Structure 1
Amino acid sequence: LLRNVAERLRQGVRDADVVARLGGDEFVVVLTDVQSQDDVAMVADKLLASMHGVFTVDQLPLTISPSIGISLFPDHGGSADVLLRCADAAMHHAKESGRGNRQFYVSSMDASALDVLQQERQLREAIAHNHFVLHYQPQICLADGTLQGLEALVRWRHPERGLVGPDEFITFSESRGLITPIGRWVMREACRQLKAWQDQGLALVPMAVNFSALEFRQRDVAAEIAAVLLETGLAPQYLEIELTESVLMHQTGQVLGTLNALKALGVGISIDDFGTGYSSLAYLKRYPIDKLKIDRSFVADTPGNSDDVAIVTAIIQMGRSLQLKTVAEGVETQAQIELLAGLGCDLMQGFVVSAPLDAEATERWLRR
């Protein structure tokens, strides 16, 4: 797809112009000998039009909606760095304006653009120097209180703000093409840490690791996981992959093939935040799923909110009829524990059991 896009870009400009790929899915076009802003707009519109047609990759028709940001010399800057930064700011403005359009740089874009560039620079440095840490949250059996699993949750050791949760940087890292190295580090570190605890006779339970939809579609997940398990010496049954419903909405052979390959490895598969996405129940029978995680938004107002109680009840009953385990997230009160236990929910995690803890504190918790 990238090669096809590059070819259309080259065909849309003159031989004297420059077409380059910066990385990921970002390209730069440098137009020489430009007479007016209208000329630039005309070329940008031509390039957008050239991308409207269907791309065929391996007999699969694909469509894209590119966003173009434009900066002009010398109006917006006197150096390549400044011009690139301004074009980048305008491109992000084009994305926020609905994609598939072009925007000229204006100075009001600067503040947000600088924030984005600063965050990207800091995140790249964090990746280069492993400035991440994992916290772990236990999953407990509601019937007998035994430990049944741990979930690995990544934190960014931010140079100015201290520990930053995934909600604040995972989506951003996806948009900047940085999710893969973060995801690889999380997977390896979670497996390494669990194996270290098991070697001490602790935590003979699965470790759950979250995968974003983007990671799952872009990587050979099954091969990478097999390699990490081999490298760390962790037995496959002690690893669990958590996916959101959006991954399963792409009804492709690739998703089914990957999930079947994970199942063949012996790795568990959970659906995270169940009920908050598309909730097309067809995928529950199509894919080899082991657990449904009931989103905290449904648990938070129970038992007082009858609608939420009804939703939680339905998910638990559906899980039982499909022979899937159910895990309630965000459990914080004894009343919630009693409700969930009475409904037949299998597992729970939340502050009533333990907040997510760093490795040292988790080890102390495990030794209790």
Structure 2
Amino acid sequence: MTSWPGSAATSSPSSPARRSLPADAARLARRLVAALETPVAVNGHTLVIGTSIGIAIAEDPSGTAATLLRQADIALYQAKAAGRGTWRFFDPAMDVEIQRRRQLGGDLRGALAGGQFVLHYQPIVGAHGQALHGFEALPRWHHPEHGEVGPAEFIPLAEEVGLLGPLGAWILATACRAAASWPDPVKVAVNLSPLQCAGLGLEADVRAALADSGLRPDRLELEITEAVLLQDNAANLSLLRAFRAAGVRIAMDEFGTGYSSLGTLHRFPFDKLKIDPGFVRSLARDGGSVEILRAMIWLGRALKIDVLAEGVETPEQARILREEGCQELQGNLFGPPAPVADLAAILA
């Protein structure tokens, strides 16, 4: 965290010295980040560390040191959120966002009990013939003041305030209950976060959701990212094998974006690979993406794993994916996420 106070006695707000402060601070931040990234040898081991830096500049000579440090701390939070190893200058908009997150974090505690969460479902179809194979359950938070809040925002908040376990159990139970009313063999897919998999109650939550709904285990598909296995390899592998033994299907989400996907596939026999939407978006304009896609589909075929492409938005993307041998497609081309009440026409 870095503050860069100025003095009204030595420089006016419009002076060249005053205007150079941001550039000077950025240069110093760059040097600090680079210096701390240098590997260090300790007792025969090589350690690599990093840093994130928040920078605040005293624009108002009457401001206090406490205010300046608070602004630098907010900028530091944004630097960490950007992926670490970087720096950010304080902007007043950051303060507004921090206040919003703080309010949402507090409101989250009563949102689940208050019935503010709902699940929307996006169709998953066969690449050839477009027969309905299932739906992915996607949680939404209908906040009374802020409107619809997406999972990219409230899932990290749930992790921070310790509510991910109850929220995850509710999602599993609600998704399985909805799927039990669908025609067999239409499946439901539910995302699991790495922190959720690390919790002690996930296996019990899955078993309870299946037992209470009466849904056959092979109609439930649990989606995980590679981070789940990288986090605690032995424990999470054991958990996933228990799910597989019970008949639940396991899919690797965001395939193609991880650090060691080939090693992960070697350690666990997934039922499905979900190709990240980033590859699909660039299909029509980037020939290299087609080659990468072809290799991922070939890998899935060689390992006898189904391959699904997410984020399909255009008929051209669907055509390429179909021709390359992708088995399943998902995206707004086949229907946006919709509440359960709107699924009747699709199911028919």
Same fold (TM over 0.5): yes
2:347 aligned with 1:366:
yes
Corresponding position of 2:58: none
Q: Deviations over 1:189-238 (max 9, x none)?
A: 0001111x23xxx3532110000111011133223211221111111011
Query: Within the alignment, does 1:152 sit opposite 2:137 as a pair?
Result: yes
**After the TM superposition, which residues 333-352 of structure 1 pair with which residues of structure 2 at under 5 Å, given as runs?**
333-352=314-333
In the other structure, the counterpart of 1:313 is 294
Distance 2:329 2:336 in 1: 12
Supply the distance in 1 between the matched residues of 2:146 and 2:79 (Cα, whole angstroms): 30
Q: Offset of 1:97 from its aligned partner?
A: 7.2
The aligned counterpart of 2:153 is: 168
SS in 1 for 2:274: strand
| Post-superposition CA distance 1:135-185 (Å, at most 9, x none) | 111111112221112110001011123222212211222222221121111
Counterpart for residue 281 of structure 2: 300
Separation (CA, whole Å) in 1 of partners of 2:112 and 2:288: 43
Q: 1:285 aligns with which of 266, 270, 286?
A: 266
Instruction: Read off the aligned partner of 1:172 and give its amino acid letter.
Output: L
Q: Does structure 2 conserve the Cα–Cα contact (< 8 Å) formed by 1:210 and 1:242? A: yes
Spell out, residue by residue over 1:250-302, the C-alpha distance to the aligned partner (whole angstroms, 9 max, x if none): 35321111011000110000011111222331110211310000011100121
Q: Partners of 1:306 and 1:323 in 2: how far apart?
A: 26
Partner in structure 2 of residue 119 of structure 1: 104
Matched pairs, number: 270
Q: Which consecutive aligned stretches of 4+ in structure 1 deviate over 3 angstroms post-superposition? A: 88-99, 108-114
Corresponding position of 1:205: 186
CA contact (8 A) 1:259 1:288 kept: no
Which residue identity does 1:336 align to in structure 2? Q
Greater Cα shift, 89-98 or 238-247: 89-98
Does the Cα contact within 8 Å between 1:136 and 1:152 map onto a contact in 2? yes
Establish whether residue 248 from structure 1 lines up as the match of residue 229 from structure 2. Answer: yes
Q: What is the aligned partner in structure 2 of residue 128 from structure 1?
A: 113
Structure 1 counterpart of 2:309: 328
Distance 1:117 1:260, change over 3 A: same
Query: Which of 146, 158, 175 is the equivalent residue of 1:190?
Result: 175
Q: Secondary structure at the match of 2:115?
A: coil
Q: 1 or 2 for the larger relative contact order (CA 8 Å, sep ≥6)?
A: 2
SS of the residue 2:169 aligns to: helix
Mapped to 1, the partners of 2:98 and 2:267 lie a distance apart of 43
* Residue 141 (structure 1) aligned to one of 106, 116, 126: 126
| Stretch of structure 1 that moved more, 213-222 or 343-352 | 213-222
Q: 1:203 to 1:138 in 2, by over 3 A?
A: farther
- CA distance in 1 between partners of 2:99 and 2:302 (Å): 52
Q: Residues 288 and 130 from structure 1, CA distance in 2 versus in 1: closer, same or farther, beyond 3 angstroms?
A: farther
Q: CA deviation at 1:98?
A: 6.3
1:275 aligned partner: 256
Distance 1:241 1:325 in 2: 14
- Structure 1: give runs of 5+ residues left out of the alignment: 1-87, 100-107
What amino acid sits opposite 1:244 in the alignment?
Answer: T
TM value normalised by structure 2: 0.71
Q: Using the aligned pairs only, state the percent identity.
A: 40
1:261 aligns with 2:246: no
SS at match of 1:152: strand
- 2:308 and 2:330 in contact (8 A); partners too: yes
Label 1:96 to 1:333 Cα distance change in 2 as closer, same or farther (>3 A). closer
Relative to structure 1, the CA distance from residue 139 to residue 233 in structure 2 (aligned partners, 3 Å threshold; closer, same or farther) is: same
| TM-score normalised to structure 1 length | 0.68
Distance 1:267 1:282 in 2: 22
Equivalent in the alignment of 2:207: 226
Give the counterpart letter for 2:151 in structure 1: P
Cα separation, partners in 2 of 1:362 and 1:297, compared to 1, 3 Å: same
Cα RMSD after superposing both structures: 2.6
What is the alpha-carbon distance in structure 2 between the residues aligned to residue 116 and residue 331 of structure 1?
31
Shift of 1:92: 7.6
- Letter of the 1:125 partner, please give it: G
Q: In structure 1, what is the Cα distance between the partners aligned to 2:312 and 2:96?
A: 40
- In 2, distance between residues paired with 1:116 and 1:350? 29
Partner amino acid for 2:109?
Answer: R
In structure 2, list runs of 5 or more residues that go unmatched.
1-69, 82-91
Q: Distance in 1 between matches of 2:71 and 2:258?
A: 31
2:248 aligned partner, one-letter code: V
